[in-house]
């Protein structure tokens, strides 16, 4: 009898052991990867990402991953590295003189991955289904501006706009929501917002296999119209942890790390300094900066705002915190953005200049005092930031030390995300951390939002004497149809903001690339989520 009881325990153990082995038996490695080396000469590039790809619906957002949507679907036009609009599925286009009609000549040699051809009819079908769900996309001005779509000829598509809207081409280059799904991918009721049948696109890759939580496989699109990708397959391993990803890379389980935030800056520095790997940093993709409130406390004064610009030793900060992985920013938008190459003079790091400006404005330092005063009032201000973000916190700490040298007292106020966001909305800050949207949304989207009262930018600018003029010029620039006029308007807006020193630019965010030396063809594209996968060879 007693023995029987022990048997129960042993049986339990045996059962659990067999479950384990059964679990192990199911081989979950990407099939291609294991056969690859032994049987064929298939070239397989392995990268990694933190999440699953999603169903890859071209017209929807999360959980669809943008870089993967970009692998499968293509846009009418492309946003080039220098911000220039280039042909893609549309080989040419014409804009009517009033700026309200765009006529696109589509390429005739484009086929979807299922072999069906791409033409104006299917393009219109895609536009129309996105427009029928307009409220989901109302963040994108383009969608609000399109009035009608029209098939002119088999390969000619016309878009009619409610108003002239110059950034239309830039926004047509976006990864979502205006890319094209093949007919067979549409659900029975036709509404892609509720899901798609299959990810069928015109891009160089086909989403061919997925084991959720483990990996996704993309294979070459046999019908691709453009240059044939150099590798046959791309395996994307799902690895959520950045340190694990770095080790997997070192062990050559991953060939390439490309993007931003995928590995820690420490790992990047280590890879770069080891000399064993190839590392690179892209052109600026977006800017980190602080907005300085022209409507609150000491920062109401132009001299104080300018003094802050001169007192912050950005380069030292960037070297210490970003290990030089980000480039120093002197203007709100980097000069590689459209209309932004204005040759504005940077506010250099110059403590003397800062002190001089403050002296002139009447902020004097008393004997043995640490901070300046005027009419008995201390030169004091607040920096508001999201306490969960380590980078914002270190900006605050370094800035506090730098401003102290100029006799300015900076109080650091770190709060959780929601409170920090609330301050942005109601303008309750002196200095606040921000980041703009980056290519291809800038400069027009960010500038456009400066007119919205619930934005930190509007709040920071209301103290400026010429705020109403700035807003008027922004409205004008978005409706302008003349290239030269547009450049002039942007020049006015950006120069004024620069001279008024309402922004303290810090650094430009970039993509990083780290790869083994057997990987070639790694280049950077103009936007954050486009990966140069079709160029890469092994």
Partner 1 sequence: MRKFIFKRLISLVPILLGISIITFALLQLVPVDPAEVYLRLSQIPPTEEAIAVTRAELGLNDPLHQQYIQWVKNVFSLDFGKSFVTRNPVLEELLYYFPATIQLTLTSLVLVIIISIPMAILSALYKDTIVDNIGRCFAFLGASMPSFWVGLLLMYVFSLKFDLLPVAGRGSIKHLILPSFTLALGSVATYTRLLRTTLLENFKENYVLYGRTRGLKEGFILLRHVFKNAILPVITAFGMSMGYMLAGSVIVENVFAWPGVGRYIISAIFNRDYPVIQCYVLIMAVIFVLLNLLVDILYGILDPRIRIGGDE
Where does this chain bind partner 1 (CB under 8 A)?
A: 5, 8, 13, 16-17, 19-20, 23-24, 27-29, 51-52, 54, 61-63, 66, 135-136, 138-139, 211-215, 237-241, 243-244, 247-248, 250-251, 253, 416-419, 437, 445, 449, 452, 454
Of 17 and 320, the one with the shorter C-beta distance to partner 1 is: 17
If the CB atoms of residues 189 and 375 are measured against partner 1, the closer one turns out to be 189
Q: Is 250 helix (H, G, I), strand (E, B) or coil?
A: helix
Q: Least distance to partner 1 from the beta carbon of 117, Å?
A: 31
Residue 287, Cβ density class (10 Å: 0-12 exposed, 13-18 middle, ≥19 buried)? buried
> How far is C-alpha 66 from the geometric centre of its chain's CA atoms?
10
Among residues 211 and 320, whose Cβ is nearest to partner 1?
A: 211
Contact criterion met (CB below 8 Å) for 462 and 295: yes
* Alpha helices (H) along 348-405: 351-360, 390-405
278-281 and 85-87 beta bridge pairing: unpaired
The two three-digit tokens of residue 378, written as one number: 């201390």
How much is the CA Rg of the chain, to the nearest whole Å? 27
Closest to partner 1 by CB, 248 or 281 = 248
Pick the closer one to partner 1 by CB: 113 or 170: 170
Structure tokens at 319: 């070297």
Q: Which is nearer to partner 1, 10 or 375 (CB)?
A: 10
Nearest approach, Cβ of residue 207 and partner 1 (Å): 16
147 vs 241, which CB is nearer to partner 1? 241
Q: What are 78's strand-pairing partners?
A: 86
CA distances to 114, 168, 494 from 487, in Å? 44, 16, 10
What are the tokens at 309? 């610009």
Tell me the closest approach of the beta carbon of residue 295 to partner 1, in angstroms: 22
Query: Taking the complex as a whole, how short is the minimal distance between the CB of residue 504 and partner 1, in angstroms?
Result: 22
* Burial class of residue 177 in the structure, from the number of CB atoms within 10 Å of its CB (0-12 exposed, 13-18 middle, 19+ buried): buried
Beta strands 431-435 and 380-386, pairing class: parallel
Of the pair 172, 357, the CB lying nearest partner 1 is at 172
Local structure of 485: helix, strand or coil? helix
6 vs 14: CA distance, rounded Å: 12
Other Cβ atoms within 10 Å of 471 Cβ, number:
15
3-state helix, strand, coil in the chain (%, to 5): 35, 20, 45
Question: What six digits make up the tokens of 510?
Answer: 């970039």
For partner 1, the closer of residues 31 and 346 by Cβ is: 31
Nearer to partner 1, 51 or 163 (CB): 51
> Rounded to the nearest whole angstrom, what is the least distance from the CB of residue 162 to partner 1 in the complex?
18
CB distance 302 to 497 below 8 Å: no
Query: In this structure, what token pair is assigned to residue 152?
Result: 């002119």
For residue 425, what are its two tokens?
């909305």
Buried b (16+ CB within 10 A) or exposed e, 245-278: bbebbbeeebbbbbbbebbebebbeebbeeeebb
| Chain center to CA of 220 | 26
Backbone angles phi, psi at 188, to 5 degrees: -60, -40
How many Å apart are CA 336 and CA 247, to the nearest integer? 34
> CB of 414: closest distance to partner 1 in angstroms?
15
Least separation, in Å, of the C-beta of 288 and partner 1?
Answer: 17
- Min dist CB 43 to partner 1, Å, is 21
As measured in angstroms, the least distance from the Cβ of 337 to partner 1 is: 18
- Complex with partner 1: residue 115 or 213, whichever CB lies closer: 213
**Looking at beta carbons only, is 315 or 422 nearer to partner 1?**
422
Give least dist CB 302 to partner 1, A: 30
Nearest to 268 by CA among 253, 246, 244: 246
Least distance from partner 1 to the Cβ atom of residue 11, Å: 12
Residue 2 beta carbon to partner 1: minimum distance, rounded to whole angstroms: 9
Question: In this structure, are residues 346 and 331 in contact, taking their beta carbons and an 8 Å threshold?
Answer: yes
Identity of the residue, 417 or 482, whose beta carbon is nearer to partner 1 in the bound complex: 417
Min dist CB 109 to partner 1, Å, is 32
Q: How buried is residue 516: exposed, middle or buried, by Cβ count under 10 Å (0-12/13-18/19+)?
A: middle
């Amino acid at each position: 009898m007693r023995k029987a009881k022990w048997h129960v325990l042993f049986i339990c153990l045996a059962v659990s052991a067999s479950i384990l082995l059964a679990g192990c038996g199911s081989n979950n490695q990407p099939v291609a990867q294991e056969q690859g080396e032994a049987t064929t000469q298939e070239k397989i590039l392995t990268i990694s990402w933190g999440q699953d790809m999603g169903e890859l619906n071209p017209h929807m957002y999360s959980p669809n991953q943008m870089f993967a949507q970009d692998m499968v679907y293509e846009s009418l036009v492309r946003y080039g590295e220098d911000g220039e609009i280039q042909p893609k599925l549309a080989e040419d286009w014409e804009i009517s003189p009033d700026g309200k009609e765009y006529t696109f000549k589509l390429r005739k040699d484009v086929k979807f991955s299922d072999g069906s051809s791409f033409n104006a009819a299917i393009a219109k079908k895609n536009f129309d289904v996105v427009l029928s769900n307009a409220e989901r996309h109302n963040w994108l001005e383009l969608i609000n501006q399109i009035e009608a779509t029209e098939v002119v000829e088999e390969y000619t598509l016309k878009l009619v706009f409610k108003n002239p809207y110059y950034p239309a081409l830039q926004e047509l280059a976006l990864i979502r929501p205006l890319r094209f799904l093949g007919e067979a991918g549409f659900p029975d009721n036709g509404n892609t917002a509720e899901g798609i049948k299959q990810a069928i696109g015109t891009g160089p890759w086909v989403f061919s296999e997925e084991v959720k939580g483990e990996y996704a496989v993309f294979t070459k699109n046999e019908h691709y119209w453009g240059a044939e990708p150099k590798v046959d397959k791309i395996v994307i391993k799902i690895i959520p942890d950045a340190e694990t990803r770095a080790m997997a890379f070192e062990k050559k389980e991953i060939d390439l790390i490309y993007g931003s935030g995928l590995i820690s800056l420490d790992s990047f520095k280590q890879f770069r300094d080891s000399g064993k790997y190839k590392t690179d940093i892209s052109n600026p993709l977006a800017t980190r900066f602080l907005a300085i409130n022209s409507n609150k406390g000491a920062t109401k004064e132009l001299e104080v705002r300018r003094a802050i610009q001169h007192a912050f030793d950005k380069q030292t900060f960037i070297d210490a915190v970003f290990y030089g992985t980000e480039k120093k920013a002197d203007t709100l938008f980097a000069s590689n953005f459209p209309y932004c190459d204005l040759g504005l003079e940077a506010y250099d790091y110059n403590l003397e200049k800062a002190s001089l400006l403050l002296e002139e404005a009447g902020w004097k330092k008393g004997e043995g005092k640490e901070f300046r005063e005027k009419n008995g009032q201390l030169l004091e201000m607040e920096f508001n930031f999201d306490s969960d973000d380590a980078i914002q916190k270190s900006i605050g700490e370094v800035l506090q030390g730098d401003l102290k040298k100029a006799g300015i007292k900076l109080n650091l106020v770190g709060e959780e995300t929601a409170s920090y966001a609330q301050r942005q909305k109601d303008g309750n800050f002196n200095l606040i951390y921000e980041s703009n949207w980056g290519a291809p949304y800038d400069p027009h989207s960010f500038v456009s939002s400066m007119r919205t009262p619930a934005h930190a930018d509007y709040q920071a600018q209301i103290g400026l004497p010429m705020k109403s003029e700035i807003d008027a010029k922004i409205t004008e620039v978005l409706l302008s149809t003349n290239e030269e006029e547009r450049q002039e308007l942007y020049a006015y807006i950006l120069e004024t903001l620069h001279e008024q020193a309402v922004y303290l630019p810090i650094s430009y965010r970039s993509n990083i690339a780290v790869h083994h030396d057997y990987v070639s063809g790694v280049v950077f594209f103009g936007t954050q989520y486009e990966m140069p996968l079709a160029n890469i060879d092994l």
